[in-house]
Amino acid sequence: MVCDDINGKYYIAEENIGVYQYGAEPTDGTAVADRVTVDKNLKLGGHITPQVEGLTIFHKRDGGGYLLASNQGSAEVTVYDRKTLKYLAKFKLVDGPVTDGVRGTDGIDCISTALGKAYPNGLFISHDGFNRDGDVRKNQNYKYVDWSVIVAAAAKKGIKLTSDPLYDPRADLKKAVRWTCSMHPSVNLLAPGKCPICRMDLIQGRGATPGGVRYNGVK
């Protein structure tokens, strides 16, 4: 599952079926009719080699970028346009001169913002479920790749993916106009309308970063 705070959406991967988009606002519906099918498994006419595992979002400015889905059966990653949900590409981290490629992938994650000299175009991370040293089975680990490597590989196949390393999604969230209720400050919506609790008209609130993380009991 992955949430898209800026566009007010969230995505769910159902291992043997595919990927769905739901609205993330409290007023959005949760019925089957309210969701959008992003993609399905190959057997169901989609592009995913099951099981579909982790999802992540590559953030670009203006709510653009990519939704990425981990395809465990082929260790591939399917790429979708974050705004239109159009399927764009499928890539795989393969063996290199120093490290092996990924197999049996569960989770993936990425950040589009530059992370210094090692990852100047953003970072893509994939869980790697199998590592062998000769006949010895080694620990699972993670493979890190600068996003430009993925962009360059796509370009060789005539697929246009881009980077946005100077964009900071957290700054965008702070600027975003939110709508709240004078009686119910917990209400924090992207669009004006009625309070879902008391039906009063919402008022414009300060920009906020929803979905903060609080750690309990971590030493």
Handedness of CA 113, 119, 121, 125 (dihedral sign): negative
Q: How far is CA 42 from CA 73, 74, 93, 159, 186, in A?
A: 11, 11, 20, 21, 42
Nearer to Zn ion, 67 or 181 (CB): 181
Binding segment toward Zn ion, per CB under 5 A, in 34-42, 63-71, 140-148, 191-199: 191-199
Residue 127 β-bridge partners? 142
Nearer to Zn ion, 19 or 189 (CB): 189
- For residue 208, the minimal CB distance to Zn ion (Å) is 17
- For residue 196, the minimal CB distance to Zn ion (Å) is 8
Give the residue, chosen from 171, 177, 197, 203, that forms a contact with Zn ion under the rule CB under 5 A.
197
Nearer to Zn ion, 193 or 207 (CB): 193
- For residue 199, the minimal CB distance to Zn ion (Å) is 7
* 36/21 Cα distance (integer angstroms): 5
Give the residue, chosen from 152, 198, 201, 211, that forms a contact with Zn ion under the rule CB under 5 A.
198
- For residue 179, the minimal CB distance to Zn ion (Å) is 11
H or E element in which residue 21 lies: strand 18-23
Give the residue, chosen from 52, 67, 89, 181, that forms a contact with Zn ion under the rule CB under 5 A.
181
Q: Does residue 152 touch Zn ion according to CB under 5 A?
A: no
Please provide the DSSP assignment of 125-188 as one string: EEEE--EEETTEEE--EEEEEEHHHHHHHHHHTT------TT--HHHHHHHS-EEE-SS-TT--
Footprint of Zn ion (CB under 5 A): 181, 183-184, 195, 197-198
